[in-house]
């Protein structure tokens, strides 16, 4: 594990919380736009079977409308995906089906969004179409381990990349939820994947890491990762946290829609206070207020709105 992991972090043991030095304040995209942190990533699942919003946005008109609605509600990034990876019962879809779902949305929404958008895929063929439509970020939940063509594509496109921790595949990751020290093992994996990406030509400044809440992790693992998020942040990359409506929130906060949203909001506030740079959420309107408040409390206010265009 890199030395910076311990050097970059100090613990105030009398009060039991951590201070993370030098959190990244922004990410500059390949087209010169800037995402200011903490930022909100709105989830747009163009799928029939996603665990929370499956089927709602399979129709391209509805997907485009939802993307624009999330932008208006305060999303700084829209994350478009055509394959469900939910912990229980997700099945890999053929690449043609994934493409058929996302291609019309990428083309139409991409032309209308002012904020950057990402493609949530593990396949280079899908990512390529998204990049051609103007996507700024590849969100690969397999951290460039699924498709050998993905790394070269990302390096050549100079796009930003989300590297997420998971074990096994989306179909079977739940049986790999066994760790001696979940924080250490996840952090080490992300460090290794980031080094791999940099060695392959992906810009260090465009790497985002993600502990992958719920992916080969039980509720206790998720809580430990959130509590010790400063250890993940100490690697020096922006950290994305995707807790929205996940089963550990359901288990702890309650099953109703309201309980799920408040539970998600609590995780997001805690994550911002603990150093998260991007929150992946289904309801950006709620997250926008949570992030503003939590960022102010943590002394992490954004000085300007996201998505400013600067010279390249
Ligand atoms: N979680 C999901 C999907 N993609 N990407 C990142 N980087 N981090 C996450 O935590 C993450 C992700 C699962 O959530 P969702 O997209 O709502 O569900 P589904 O996979 O069923 O479409």
Rounded average pLDDT over 110-139: 97
Rounded average pLDDT over 88-104: 86
Q: Please answer whether residues 150 and 200 qualify as being in contact, where contact means their C-beta atoms are separated by less than 8 angstroms.
A: no
Residue 85 Cα to ligand 1 middle (Å): 6
pLDDT band at 56; cut points 50, 70, 90: confident
User: CB-hemisphere CA count at 13 Å for 175?
Assistant: 5
Whether 21 shows a pLDDT value over 80: the answer reads no
Average pLDDT, the chain: 90
Provide the total of helices (H) and of strands (E) in the chain, helices listed first.
11, 13
Range of the domain at 153: 25-309
Active site residues: 246, 280
Whether 11 shows a pLDDT value over 60: the answer reads no
Q: What is the pLDDT of residue 174?
A: 80
Question: Does residue 124 belong to any structural domain of this protein?
Answer: yes
Whether 114 shows a pLDDT value over 50: the answer reads yes
Rounded average pLDDT over 218-235: 98
Rounded average pLDDT over 145-168: 96
* Phi-psi sector, 164: left (phi>0), alpha (psi -120 to 50), beta: beta
Residue 130 Cα to ligand 1 middle (Å): 17
Q: What is the pLDDT of residue 153?
A: 98
Question: Does residue 19 belong to any structural domain of this protein?
Answer: no
Strand ranges inside 110-199, DSSP E = 117-120, 137-140, 160-164
Length of the chain: 312
Nearest alpha carbon to residue 213 among 302, 299, 279, 122? 279
Question: Does residue 43 belong to any structural domain of this protein?
Answer: yes
Q: How many domains, in total, are found in the chain?
A: 1
Q: What is the pLDDT of residue 308?
A: 66
- Domain CATH number, residue 212: 3.20.20.20
Q: Please answer whether residues 176 and 189 qualify as being in contact, where contact means their C-beta atoms are separated by less than 8 angstroms.
A: no
Question: Does residue 284 belong to any structural domain of this protein?
Answer: yes
Atom of ligand 1 nearest to the CA of 90: 21
d(CA 75, CA 182): 30
Residues with CB under 6 A from ligand 1: 43, 45, 47, 50-52, 81, 84-86, 120, 139, 141, 162, 164, 210, 212-213, 240, 242, 280
Helix, strand and coil percent figures for the chain, each rounded to 5: 40, 15, 40
Rounded average pLDDT over 33-61: 88
Question: Does residue 14 belong to any structural domain of this protein?
Answer: no
pLDDT band at 52; cut points 50, 70, 90: confident
Tell me the C-alpha to C-alpha distance, in Å, between residue 33 and each of 18, 126, 222, 288.
31, 23, 32, 20
């Amino acid at each position: 594990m890199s030395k910076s992991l311990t050097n970059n972090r100090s613990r105030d043991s009398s009060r039991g919380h951590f201070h993370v030095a030098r959190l990244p304040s922004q990410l500059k995209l390949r087209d010169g736009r800037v995402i200011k942190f903490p930022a909100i990533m709105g989830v747009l699942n163009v799928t029939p079977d996603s665990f929370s919003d499956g089927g709602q946005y399979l129709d391209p008109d509805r997907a485009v409308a939802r993307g624009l609605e999330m932008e208006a509600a305060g999303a700084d990034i829209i994350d478009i995906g055509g394959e469900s990876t939910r912990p229980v019962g997700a099945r890999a879809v053929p690449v043609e089906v994934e493409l058929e779902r996302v291609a019309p949305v990428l083309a139409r929404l991409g032309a209308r969004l002012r904020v950057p958008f990402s493609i949530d895929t593990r396949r280079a063929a899908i990512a390529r179409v998204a990049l051609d439509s103007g996507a700024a970020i590849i969100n690969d939940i397999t951290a460039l381990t699924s498709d050998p063509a993905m790394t070269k594509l990302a390096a050549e496109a100079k796009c930003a990349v989300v590297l997420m921790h998971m074990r096994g595949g989306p179909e079977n990751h739940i049986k790999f939820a066994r760790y001696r020290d979940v924080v250490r093992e996840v952090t080490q994996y992300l460090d290794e994947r980031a080094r791999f990406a940099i060695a392959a030509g992906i810009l260090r400044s465009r790497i985002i890491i993600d502990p992958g809440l719920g992916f080969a992790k039980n509720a206790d693992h998720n809580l430990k990762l959130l509590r010790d998020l400063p250890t993940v942040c100490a690697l020096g990359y922006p950290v994305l946290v995707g807790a929205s409506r996940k089963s550990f929130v359901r288990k702890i906060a309650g099953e109703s829609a309201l309980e799920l949203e408040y539970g998600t909001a609590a995780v997001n506030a805690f994550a911002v206070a603990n150093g998260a740079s991007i929150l992946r959420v289904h309801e950006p309107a709620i997250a926008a207020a949570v992030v503003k408040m939590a960022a102010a409390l943590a002394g992490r206010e954004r000085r300007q709105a996201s998505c400013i265009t600067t010279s390249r």
